[in-house]
Structure 1
């Protein structure tokens, strides 16, 4: 046989061609199906699926292949001891259709279909009566089937980034719904039945075409977070009944005037890129709990006088307005850490101050506060306070503030307490000194103190006297040498914010688990090694938790059940999961990841 003949009979691609009779590879690996029968959870995220594999629908119906083998009583071989599928993750695929066979999975608690190509949903979806979480974001849905609103156990429904132009009135049937996200759609109005969702905690209707809000919104009495950014709103209804609302987003609307009555317990309010002038923003003056206030890119020509009384402000954004003068009293806001003023025609403020940071700017403003004429004329007291600021009793009486900061002193002079005798002092700032203990004479103001700042000192222990300040809401103990907190701190049942950064804590202070009033806890830059997620779950109002730069080698998955958290900082710890790329995606992504890792028998 010639060389050319032998060559012609050789198929060089034979090894790459499917052999006749060979079975096709299953769409879902057998190992994944076997594990799903054991755990009740199946994750098929990002597998390029165009359809849900039939094996998935049949998971709770068909007997597994192991049943045809010899019976074994090994722990991993007892195929009859299996769990019904409760969690099915199908996100980031190319699924364009969901079959009616979805009804064959009646035990589902979580169904994640976000980032697919669904243009419709089957009516059979309404038969999943146990379903609690349904994620349908980033699809092509233009209508939501009415059958979906028969899911009476549903708690979370996400429909953002679809093509929805309306929502049916049947929405109110979802009486257990706590989280609803319909952002990035084409909604021109919201159903009037929205107020019937009385269990709702979080509502996101941002990036739509809303020009008005439906009546009955004030019936959402449990609502904690409301996002209405990027719409066409020109006015707001009375929202004062929403007493639990802590965060309100209204960026990029057409608001000219705020209602006289806003939610009374707002902590964060975002009003950037509207059309508010100084008169339209005046209602903000009465909100004593605001921590974050954003008013950038509006039409403010001056700062409403009452705004300088917002003593709980930590961040104030006034950039890109028409403000020409700044009241010096802003420098006395005790918690203000960020003040943004760029883009304003400020006349009596040196431009270089804006580049030196908030601390220098506030210090400058405090220096411009005019002293009481009688106090100026009085003879020198001889105190010689290390802060080099003359003591002014009238200032203490007016501002209710006792300040002795940046003095590098080891004790607070008695003359300062004497000057405040008989006054109802509400705030104390003794930061940036060398105090080794809490001044005993602070007890003289225990009935009135709301805010205490003892940061940047040398405290090694926290005085029991501090635990008698029953009106205390803010406590700043940053940059000290603390490793424990006194047990009697449990008495501070109004404490909403505690800052313990840059101390020596090796674990989350046990007493803090008993303070269900806490909303913000700062424990960054300590040596915390372990967390008790059960304790954190008791903090039903916790919205911000900073655990960055500690020694956590593990993040308990149960931390994902802390659904009140809006800010969770974990970077700078030695744990391997969640990975830094996930941490960078933000709190919601981290919490969702942690929840997905909770063993099935621990989920609710």
Structure 2
């Protein structure tokens, strides 16, 4: 066997050691980027950007140095300029000045790195429309960023910013600005010059005041100032003409903000130190739908709370409320009233646990109904056959209610009682209805809210689609598996409740109702959704798909940026993981966007 022995000085692994290490960016990826104009280097563990990436559009490729004939698809001299460069989730600590060698970039994604500064050369990227810098260690924003006149989206959340340059107001085309989770103590007054801005997030900073210049933000619909140190809110915010959602949670407010805002729909002021609600302040909120006041020190509600007749949800959890005004039950659209954690007197605890409907019914019972005037003579209101109908509700609340009767049909006298009356709300819930009452059509000129929940409906009659004023429909807890295509005619419909039915797919017609803001489809058997069609529902802010049969979540769902509440728990998908779903809607949408293949 001795003839097989090798000399001791020979290295048996030498052949392996001579193999060159694979480049940080595979050549094939660079070649593809020359054709597509897009390069995705996310999650590659890069500590620096390779030089051949910066010089992608300058240096000829390796094969150009050799005697190679090029096919029509491989003409490198006809390459596309790089427009999209994704470098997220790496370990970059700095960005070279050579970034200026890519002047055609429209998207630059650097989120989730270790950048502590940016080069001034970034100011030469004048075509840039999206700049993603979240989850880094930036302490300052170079003034050169403020020269990027084409910039539409700037995300800077989760950095170490303590101040912003006054030149920020030069970003005249900016529509989205996220400054959350930084160390900002004040804001530049030029912020009010960002007149194209639609969404502004300032939460989780150290702001003690807001500049009056915010009033000039004429296109901002959502303003989030939660988790700061605000002691006051400037009344000038009332001048923001399209502001619909205002978040002021977790601040140091002692007074309810004075906001005479004509379009504000949602106001969140939970976790402050508010002690009192004034009638004048509430009366100014003429379009308010959701009011969150939880975890404050409120002791009572004014009797004139009935002035907020658009209110659908009122959260008073964990306050010091001891009594409730009976007038609370006269709010015509109130659907959810949360009162846990209050020292209420005179209301049994078991009544609170029965839900909003029972509580409002109890409060209505404390209101003394005025007797019918004898001058009205022999009207339909006085017929004995109509004694079972709550005439008071029809006349004062414009509400036709016939619920919890366990009937299979709504008696004709119920509709007769509403004849010649303006009825806006119909509640036929908790009965045994198997079809939509045909006489509902008689109310088509006025009814805007219908509750047919907790019945036995197996199909929805197209007749309901003639109620063109409908804004809210509740079909929850029925046996529906489809909706009529005529539903698309309801151009004012904002919310539809379909929880606890038998839908196996997202109802096709809902993709065609552009006015939808809320779709509740939990506890069905839905197996999938079309994110590209959901994106067209530009007003959709709440989508509940919990407890369905979704085996996978399409990453493109993350592009539905109008969503403020997306519920996916209780589905059998494996990704995203439950921990990501639990972080909330914003984190979930960001995760889904990061998974979109380029």
Show the counterpart of 2:158: 161
Distance (whole Å) between structure 2 residues aligned to residue 109 and residue 326 of structure 1? 56
- Does the 8 Å contact 1:99/1:122 carry over to 2? yes
Show the counterpart of 1:191: 188
State how many pairs are aligned. 585
Could you tell me how far 1:503 is from its partner in structure 2?
Answer: 3.3
Could you tell me how far 1:295 is from its partner in structure 2?
Answer: 0.6
Which of 409, 412, 416 aligns to 1:411? It is 409
Show the counterpart of 1:388: none
Show the counterpart of 1:480: 478
Which of 192, 198, 201 aligns to 1:204? It is 201
Could you tell me how far 1:437 is from its partner in structure 2?
Answer: 2.3
Give the direction of change, closer, same or farther, for the CA distance of 1:362–1:73 in structure 2 (3 Å limit).
farther
Show the counterpart of 1:401: 399
Show the counterpart of 2:539: 541
Could you tell me how far 1:100 is from its partner in structure 2?
Answer: 0.4
- Does the 8 Å contact 2:261/2:284 carry over to 1? no
- Does the 8 Å contact 2:315/2:337 carry over to 1? yes
Please list, as runs of the form range in 1=range in 2, the aligned pairs for 1:350-365 lying within 5 A after superposition. Answer: 350-354=348-352, 356=353, 358-359=355-356, 362=359, 365=362
Distance (whole Å) between structure 2 residues aligned to residue 489 and residue 96 of structure 1? 54
Please list, as runs of the form range in 1=range in 2, the aligned pairs for 1:41-60 lying within 5 A after superposition. Answer: 41-60=38-57
- Does the 8 Å contact 1:115/1:139 carry over to 2? yes
Residue 431, structure 1, aligned to residue 429, structure 2: yes
Please list, as runs of the form range in 1=range in 2, the aligned pairs for 1:117-516 lying within 5 A after superposition. Answer: 117-233=114-230, 234-280=232-278, 283-287=281-285, 289-308=287-306, 310=308, 313-330=311-328, 338-354=336-352, 356=353, 358-359=355-356, 362=359, 365-366=362-363, 368-372=365-369, 374=371, 381=384, 391-516=389-514
Give the direction of change, closer, same or farther, for the CA distance of 1:561–1:257 in structure 2 (3 Å limit).
same
Give the direction of change, closer, same or farther, for the CA distance of 1:589–1:320 in structure 2 (3 Å limit).
closer
Give the direction of change, closer, same or farther, for the CA distance of 1:439–1:242 in structure 2 (3 Å limit).
farther
Could you tell me how far 1:157 is from its partner in structure 2?
Answer: 0.8
More displaced stretch, 437-446 vs 575-584:
575-584
- Does the 8 Å contact 1:229/1:253 carry over to 2? yes
SS of the residue 2:426 aligns to: strand
Could you tell me how far 1:303 is from its partner in structure 2?
Answer: 1.6
Give the direction of change, closer, same or farther, for the CA distance of 1:426–1:87 in structure 2 (3 Å limit).
same
Distance (whole Å) between structure 2 residues aligned to residue 516 and residue 140 of structure 1? 41
Query: What are the superposed Cα offsets for residues 165-221 of structure 1, whole Å, 9 maximum, x if unpaired?
Result: 322222122122111111222323222221211111110112223233223322222
More displaced stretch, 339-348 vs 277-286:
277-286
SS of the residue 1:428 aligns to: strand
Distance (whole Å) between structure 1 residues aligned to residue 504 and residue 253 of structure 2? 48
> Which 5+ residue runs of structure 2 have no aligned equivalent?
373-380
Give the direction of change, closer, same or farther, for the CA distance of 1:520–1:360 in structure 2 (3 Å limit).
closer
> Which 5+ residue runs of structure 1 have no aligned equivalent?
1-5, 386-390
- Does the 8 Å contact 2:267/2:291 carry over to 1? yes
Give the direction of change, closer, same or farther, for the CA distance of 1:333–1:198 in structure 2 (3 Å limit).
same
Distance (whole Å) between structure 2 residues aligned to residue 580 and residue 11 of structure 1? 55
More displaced stretch, 36-45 vs 414-423:
36-45
Distance (whole Å) between structure 1 residues aligned to residue 533 and residue 298 of structure 2? 45
Show the counterpart of 1:104: 101
SS of the residue 2:246 aligns to: strand
Give the direction of change, closer, same or farther, for the CA distance of 1:155–1:552 in structure 2 (3 Å limit).
same
Residue 519, structure 1, aligned to residue 517, structure 2: yes
Return structure 1 stretches of 4+ with deviation > 6 angstroms: 8-12, 72-81
Distance (whole Å) between structure 2 residues aligned to residue 309 and residue 435 of structure 1? 34
- Does the 8 Å contact 1:149/1:173 carry over to 2? yes
More displaced stretch, 188-197 vs 458-467:
458-467
Distance (whole Å) between structure 2 residues aligned to residue 311 and residue 52 of structure 1? 58
- Does the 8 Å contact 2:511/2:533 carry over to 1? yes
SS of the residue 1:564 aligns to: coil
RMSD of aligned residue pairs (Cα, Å):
3.7
- Does the 8 Å contact 1:39/1:83 carry over to 2? yes
Distance (whole Å) between structure 2 residues aligned to residue 471 and residue 177 of structure 1? 36
Query: What are the superposed Cα offsets for residues 65-92 of structure 1, whole Å, 9 maximum, x if unpaired?
Result: 4545674778997767754433333233
Could you tell me how far 1:119 is from its partner in structure 2?
Answer: 2.3
Could you tell me how far 1:266 is from its partner in structure 2?
Answer: 2.7
- Does the 8 Å contact 1:330/1:362 carry over to 2? no
- Does the 8 Å contact 2:568/2:581 carry over to 1? yes
Which of 90, 93, 96 aligns to 1:93? It is 90
Distance (whole Å) between structure 1 residues aligned to residue 470 and residue 253 of structure 2? 35
Query: What are the superposed Cα offsets for residues 545-596 of structure 1, whole Å, 9 maximum, x if unpaired?
Result: 2334445566555544332222233445566655555444433344445545
SS of the residue 1:157 aligns to: strand
Could you tell me how far 1:360 is from its partner in structure 2?
Answer: 7.4
SS of the residue 1:442 aligns to: helix
Distance (whole Å) between structure 2 residues aligned to residue 123 and residue 512 of structure 1? 48
Give the direction of change, closer, same or farther, for the CA distance of 1:185–1:502 in structure 2 (3 Å limit).
same
Show the counterpart of 2:584: 586
Distance (whole Å) between structure 1 residues aligned to residue 70 and residue 591 of structure 2? 34
- Does the 8 Å contact 1:507/1:528 carry over to 2? yes
| TM-score of the aligned structures, taking structure 1 as reference length | 0.85
More displaced stretch, 287-296 vs 359-368:
359-368
More displaced stretch, 332-341 vs 274-283:
332-341
Give the direction of change, closer, same or farther, for the CA distance of 1:549–1:28 in structure 2 (3 Å limit).
same
- Does the 8 Å contact 1:497/1:521 carry over to 2? yes
SS of the residue 2:85 aligns to: strand
- Does the 8 Å contact 2:35/2:80 carry over to 1? yes
Could you tell me how far 1:400 is from its partner in structure 2?
Answer: 1.7
SS of the residue 1:141 aligns to: coil
